[in-house]
Amino acid sequence: SDEEEVYTDSEEETGDGDPEFVKRQELKSSALDEQLKEYIQEWRKQRSKEEDDLKKLKEKQAKRKVMRAEEEKRMAERKKQEEERRQREVEEKKQKDIEEKRKRLEEAEKKRQAMMAALKEQTNKSKGPNFTISKKEGALSMTSAQLERNKTR
Which tens digits make up the pLDDT trace of 26-83?
A: 888 999 999 999 999 999 999 999 999 999 999 999 999 999 999 999 999 999 999 9
Over 70: is that where the pLDDT of 7 sits? Answer: no
**pLDDT value at residue 138:** 56
- Which string of DSSP letters, residue by residue, matches the chain? -HHHH---HHHIIIIIS-HHHHHHHHHHHHHHHHHHHHHHHHHHHHHHHHHHHHHHHHHHHHHHHHHHHHHHHHHHHHHHHHHHHHHHHHHHHHHHHHHHHHHHHHHHHHHHHHHHHHHHHHHHHH---SS-----GGGTT--HHHHHHHHT-
pLDDT over 50 at 12, yes or no:
no
Q: Max CA-CA distance within the chain?
A: 194
CA distances from 60 to 69, 75, 122, 141 (A): 14, 22, 91, 126
Lowest-confidence range among 5-9, 32-36, 43-47, 94-98?
5-9
Q: Is the pLDDT of residue 129 over 70?
A: no
- Calculate the average pLDDT of the chain: 85
Domain ranges of the chain: 16-123
Higher pLDDT, 58 or 6: 58
- Average pLDDT for 15-26: 79
